Structure 1
């Protein structure tokens, strides 16, 4: 199945109106000029024939191939991936621009079905690879260095060996994938079609969530209550989507013999379960010194006896409420990237100049933000919902970091460029950190420094604490679903069970907040994705500490790490920096950076 990744950030959102300046839009013509482009028809025809001939030439014959034959097989498979990826990138990106457009939705669905049908005969490839003898495969690698380059791909495929079903069942599951995609689209279209009324204004979910960072507390409360009302009215639909997706996953996991609901994600992330558990344990243990301590301090700044959920992302009373125009946002991020290394600025520049960013908030546009790598012979595209808050500048820095990473990794080719989610957040969070430090450098007063530090701490809490709480919620949800259908009230209770623990005793939770799980797209699109954010943040904090210590050749090592894409394990990638994510103390190092910032804020009073 060819899925378009949908890594939408948690809504650390901002609100605003004009003057934002001239916001860029995508130019998708680097993929195809339109639905009826002759090149698209040409590629679809090629793909159908390429898949059929691949099956004819190789099915049942992998064990008999010599080194050159196996390499030819791998290269042909890679080319099929590339063409299919280009088609689905075009269809998906057009769809995300206006998810409420029936023609775009139909086009994406039609392309998904065609590609699923074309590629069904290819299912044998991974199944037969996993039946090859280890010694025979090692001999192939030893004899052919071009083939040996693909060993990390083989390793990842063969990690699934214990969970592989019969050829017939694997083909059946491959074909059935379009049904799961339909549930995902139903979620997207439902979310995009929701309408919220706040102070006489009709808004989509993005605009409404953005009001949660307004200076005016009554406006934040009104937005929160409206989100609760609308989600409450639609909660049965969202519960149905979650029940169906979790049940589908449970059936497939059970047939495959997966030990836990998380096993598949850990395998695709190329990360050991104990490393994720060490991260989770370190973060949960740190809740009191991170989120609990910070929000208690924030309660004092806001002059409140108790915090409500609409105060979590509230600006500080002394915060500048001006809107950051697009040109200023671009200048800030580009200055930070260039200051780190001019090569980074050079890679980032075309995103702004050549139609690689779609920035504006528009009716029907998918919420949140993402960077989609498309295919290695084109370039990434970044989607934002830019509303001019300082946090939106950080989101731009984040997504542009993904874009730079994807450009650098493209040199690995289609099968090796894709980075496991745990490492995919490295360049994005590092880009945010560079931008933050540049803004901190420019702070003219203690007050400005305090606002910036508090904003960064909040972003880190949202990225580390909140995402681990999300992960715990998902673990509970999938465990509970194994016992039977979950009512909306069941899911609400699971959500609330992780909220107070992670946010701390200073919070009250308004009636209706229990439904806020319903709008988080990761739970539907990518189960257990969320811990990758915490992994990435902890990893980057440790990396940034090495950079700050002035280690020699850091920039070169950093570029080498990004260029590696998915060709190396996290242990190999971090070794040149003297770091090891499997060491439990590694996570404490990253978390202590957040704690140190909270110390500085406490000292400011």
Structure 2
């Protein structure tokens, strides 16, 4: 019954001219889950790890510069094999998280790879014990590993928080039954949730999509269905959050982390005061952004008060429209090409080579992402495409990630990964390019208003909503430090940030207090969410420089993306005349959103 209803929804979408939606071809990683190539790589990984540990354990401080370079290159090759194996297992799993065989394969390989790589735990620990003088000599030598210095500078920033070798090895071995296990429980529970909406049984993605329906009654029904199911599962979600927050607090205590957020800032290579400046700028702007916009929206909808199911509602004058896959493809690629033909060329293979999985399917992970896999392969993009205008923007967003990951791959496995604060740069820029291209060719005032309103809502969701999420997490972890949190405790924390960020025009239906339960970032990547606001503000400032005709902007932009994680955000932004540590920097980005709201108000006159 459930599968039938889900497939009916998908078939109906096809009937609305979505066209043939692409699916992943994972054979670029491995031909099949039982392939000889996968088995051989697992065996090779075990041999290479054993050989590496035998060759280098206890000797890192004695290596010459050229020997250290060979050591790091060997470590990088091991990282690629492990990354390829786990990318394959993870992507198969996300295609259908309710499939027992796929879940078993992922769990088994997580355990196997964790066991195999345990002998590598010594590497970072021993590396961080190398004296500064020796370290600086090694990394300044002409025949040494100088290009890898940014990676190891970040690693050595963890030195004050490093535990004993035995404890670090214990944490490594225990990871598969710690956070990773709770993450899987969350993913599988969320993917299996069923919502009864107007006589249909829907999954979470299709139900959330109803919140953007033109029919207000359908939106309301979906909102109540979400609240009903979240409430039924709230004890489990509370247990997940209580456990993960406590586990993090224990590890943070042992590592002497000053705050729950500090580890995320370290991994992002961003100063806490920069994040605080961003957070303060956004919260101070709530009245000028979200409060002001939603008051406008209430007027458009003819309402004195907005309910939560009105937050992402289309405008009454915005005619319902389904955008087929071919049109979505051409819209995004044309916008990319308008900026630079090279950008479109980098994005095109995603459509033609099985690098995108677009359709809504039973058990498929909700949401969207771009997975970089490993630098010797290519990224894969997951979407849940339903033909809404926002889905086109999501495609532009995830393709931006994919292009960024392709360009950064030239840095090699260790240097390609971009800190989260910069990881959203290309994705949000891709969205902005697509939006600006659509806006430029829209002459009808009604359509222009709908387009502008949609963009403002997306930016509010990216900036205001994500900073509210960040504040919720800060409050959650602070409260958990005082003791176990009941579902009502967590609900209250959620509502405190919702009322503040959305503004006085909103009323909140009974049940909305449970909507924290489905947000995966809180579970998978604590304090990740501020990266979205960071990326949006950064891109707004970048786009302003582009519009103002900064010389050689395209070349500088590609150089920034190609740098991957090899440079600090200060160094990357310098060619554009920007500095994220300047509090005024964030106000520049927020003024772009205000400018769009100004345009909407002008259209009212």
Shorter-chain TM-score: which interval?
A: over 0.9
**Residue 523 of structure 2 corresponds to which residue in structure 1?**
524
* Higher deviation after alignment, 354-363 or 67-76: 67-76
**Residue 244 of structure 1 corresponds to which residue in structure 2?**
243
* 1:285-300 matches, cutoff 5 A: 285-300=284-299
**Residue 58 of structure 1 corresponds to which residue in structure 2?**
56
Q: Is 1:40 aligned with 2:38?
A: yes
**Residue 106 of structure 1 corresponds to which residue in structure 2?**
104
**Residue 564 of structure 1 corresponds to which residue in structure 2?**
563
For 1:215 and 1:154, the matched residues in 2 are separated by: 52
- Note the C-alpha offset of 1:144: 3.0
CA distance 1:17–1:316, change in 2 (3 Å): farther
**Contact 1:17 1:387 (8 Å CA) reproduced:** no
For 1:88 and 1:485, the matched residues in 2 are separated by: 34
**Contact 2:97 2:364 (8 Å CA) reproduced:** yes
- What SS does the aligned partner of 1:416 have? helix
- What SS does the aligned partner of 2:91 have? helix
TM-score relative to the length of structure 1: 0.97
**Residue 253 of structure 1 corresponds to which residue in structure 2?**
252
**Residue 352 of structure 2 corresponds to which residue in structure 1?**
353
- Note the C-alpha offset of 1:444: 2.5
For 1:77 and 1:248, the matched residues in 2 are separated by: 29
**Contact 1:214 1:220 (8 Å CA) reproduced:** yes
For 2:432 and 2:144, the matched residues in 1 are separated by: 37
For 1:507 and 1:257, the matched residues in 2 are separated by: 41
- Note the C-alpha offset of 1:285: 0.1
**Residue 115 of structure 2 corresponds to which residue in structure 1?**
117
- Note the C-alpha offset of 1:146: 5.0
Q: Which runs of 5+ in 2 are unaligned?
A: 1-11
For 1:146 and 1:390, the matched residues in 2 are separated by: 51
Match of 2:137 among 133, 136, 139: 139
* Higher deviation after alignment, 137-146 or 261-270: 137-146
- Note the C-alpha offset of 1:141: 1.6
For 1:572 and 1:177, the matched residues in 2 are separated by: 35
Match of 2:85 among 68, 72, 87: 87
**Residue 9 of structure 1 corresponds to which residue in structure 2?**
none
For 1:207 and 1:403, the matched residues in 2 are separated by: 25
**Contact 1:84 1:115 (8 Å CA) reproduced:** yes
Residues 508-527 of structure 1, C-alpha deviations (whole Å, 9 max, x = no match): 00000000000000000000
Q: Is 1:453 aligned with 2:449?
A: no
For 1:312 and 1:245, the matched residues in 2 are separated by: 30
- What SS does the aligned partner of 2:370 have? strand
**Residue 463 of structure 1 corresponds to which residue in structure 2?**
462
- What SS does the aligned partner of 1:142 have? coil
For 1:72 and 1:482, the matched residues in 2 are separated by: 44
For 2:49 and 2:230, the matched residues in 1 are separated by: 43
* Higher deviation after alignment, 93-102 or 129-138: 129-138
For 1:33 and 1:143, the matched residues in 2 are separated by: 42
**Residue 262 of structure 1 corresponds to which residue in structure 2?**
261
After superposition, the CA RMSD in angstroms is: 0.8
**Residue 553 of structure 1 corresponds to which residue in structure 2?**
552
For 1:584 and 1:184, the matched residues in 2 are separated by: 35
CA distance 1:576–1:333, change in 2 (3 Å): same
Match of 1:78 among 76, 79, 101: 76
**Contact 1:17 1:388 (8 Å CA) reproduced:** no
* 1:199-214 matches, cutoff 5 A: 199-214=198-213
Residues 250-294 of structure 1, C-alpha deviations (whole Å, 9 max, x = no match): 100000000000011000000000000000000000000000000
**Residue 3 of structure 1 corresponds to which residue in structure 2?**
none
For 2:131 and 2:144, the matched residues in 1 are separated by: 20
- What SS does the aligned partner of 1:505 have? coil
Q: Which runs of 5+ in 1 are unaligned?
A: 1-14
TM-score relative to the length of structure 2: 0.97
**Contact 1:16 1:389 (8 Å CA) reproduced:** no
- Note the C-alpha offset of 1:145: 5.1
Residues 517-568 of structure 1, C-alpha deviations (whole Å, 9 max, x = no match): 0000000000000000000000000000000001110000000000000000
For 2:39 and 2:139, the matched residues in 1 are separated by: 37
**Residue 158 of structure 2 corresponds to which residue in structure 1?**
160
For 2:56 and 2:137, the matched residues in 1 are separated by: 20
* Higher deviation after alignment, 455-464 or 141-150: 141-150
* 1:309-320 matches, cutoff 5 A: 309-320=308-319
For 1:575 and 1:394, the matched residues in 2 are separated by: 28
* Higher deviation after alignment, 64-73 or 363-372: 64-73
* Higher deviation after alignment, 533-542 or 134-143: 134-143
**Contact 1:371 1:383 (8 Å CA) reproduced:** yes
Residues 367-396 of structure 1, C-alpha deviations (whole Å, 9 max, x = no match): 000000000010000000000000000000
Residues 52-88 of structure 1, C-alpha deviations (whole Å, 9 max, x = no match): 1111111111111111111111011101110000000
CA distance 1:17–1:201, change in 2 (3 Å): farther
For 2:214 and 2:143, the matched residues in 1 are separated by: 60
**Contact 1:480 1:486 (8 Å CA) reproduced:** yes
Residues 70-112 of structure 1, C-alpha deviations (whole Å, 9 max, x = no match): 1111011101110000000000000000000000000001111
For 2:535 and 2:521, the matched residues in 1 are separated by: 16
For 2:31 and 2:112, the matched residues in 1 are separated by: 20
For 1:531 and 1:16, the matched residues in 2 are separated by: 34
